[in-house]
Chain A
């Protein structure tokens, strides 16, 4: 998918574990894993808002467009 999710990189920078983030934003670890691996077909604004709030970042920091598929 040409849209990449930089969640792993940001989590590493914040020194935060996936399960901790999932708990904080109120989604399951399975769903966070779908998001991290790029299998998700859509992201709700509410999820994006929660992610930005918890990781103290902008949506553009999380999402990246790449020509390569």
Chain B
């Protein structure tokens, strides 16, 4: 597989993923708005109890009410308003940040196709990706799930995204070095 084919596939995947994220944002927002007006329609909708797989976490779970649900699934219509707004806003913010990360990555791919790999814009793109990943880590830190018979709040740090952020910052430094070498080569007569 030559370089251009690989870049074209990566570019296509970036575009596809961006469309997918945009669709998820629209659908989630539509459901969220509809949920405010007609909660009863969602009586049959159930979700799994939230679980965190991060090795660094602290969580508290409370089973409240007359009939604690135990290990059963959670009814969407039982979702309390504060927790619902919190989870919705957090989810949308993370999706938007993912969209921005893919946009920046797409720009890097485009510059590689134009043979401007070590351009200053790529250094900035990788730095932005690093900051976006840090923001996602920050947003994912606190979780608050409150249903009528179930409440769970947890602090957890997503190591994978934190690692991704570190890799993005390292790549930014590598590209900065590359940019310096390119500038030096350009100014060698």
- Chain B, residue nearest A48 (CB): B189
> Which residues 173-187 of B sit at the A interface, judged by CB distance below 8 A?
183-184, 187
Cβ of A31 within 8 Å of any chain B Cβ, yes or no, is: yes
> Which residues 10-61 of A sit at the B interface, judged by CB distance below 8 A?
27, 31-32, 34-35, 39-44, 47
- Chain B, residue nearest A35 (CB): B189
Once the chains bind, are A44 and B187 in contact (CB under 8 Å)?
no
Tally of A-B residue pairs with Cβ under 8 A? Answer: 23
Complex: A34 Cα to B188 Cα, angstroms: 9
Complex: A32 Cα to B187 Cα, angstroms: 11
Chain B neighbourhood of A35, CB < 8 A: 189
Nearest-neighbour CB distance to chain B for A25, whole angstroms, equals 10
**B147-189 near A? 1/0 per residue, CB < 8 Å:** 0000000000000000000000000000000000001100111
Complex: A42 Cα to B187 Cα, angstroms: 7
Complex: A41 Cα to B180 Cα, angstroms: 11
Once the chains bind, are A39 and B187 in contact (CB under 8 Å)?
yes
Complex: A39 Cα to B189 Cα, angstroms: 10
Nearest-neighbour CB distance to chain A for B177, whole angstroms, equals 15
Interface of B toward A, CB cutoff 8 Å: 183-184, 187-189
Interface of A toward B, CB cutoff 8 Å: 27, 31-32, 34-35, 39-44, 47
Closest 10 CB pairs of A and B: A41-B187, A42-B188, A35-B189, A40-B189, A31-B189, A41-B184, A40-B187, A47-B189, A43-B189, A34-B189
Given contacts A41-B188, A42-B187, 11 further A-B contacts (CB under 8 A): A31-B189, A34-B187, A34-B189, A35-B189, A39-B187, A40-B187, A41-B187, A42-B188, A43-B188, A44-B188, A44-B189
Can you sample 23 A-B contacts with CB below 8 Å? Answer: A27-B189, A31-B189, A32-B189, A34-B187, A34-B189, A35-B189, A39-B187, A40-B187, A40-B188, A40-B189, A41-B183, A41-B184, A41-B187, A41-B188, A42-B184, A42-B187, A42-B188, A42-B189, A43-B188, A43-B189, A44-B188, A44-B189, A47-B189
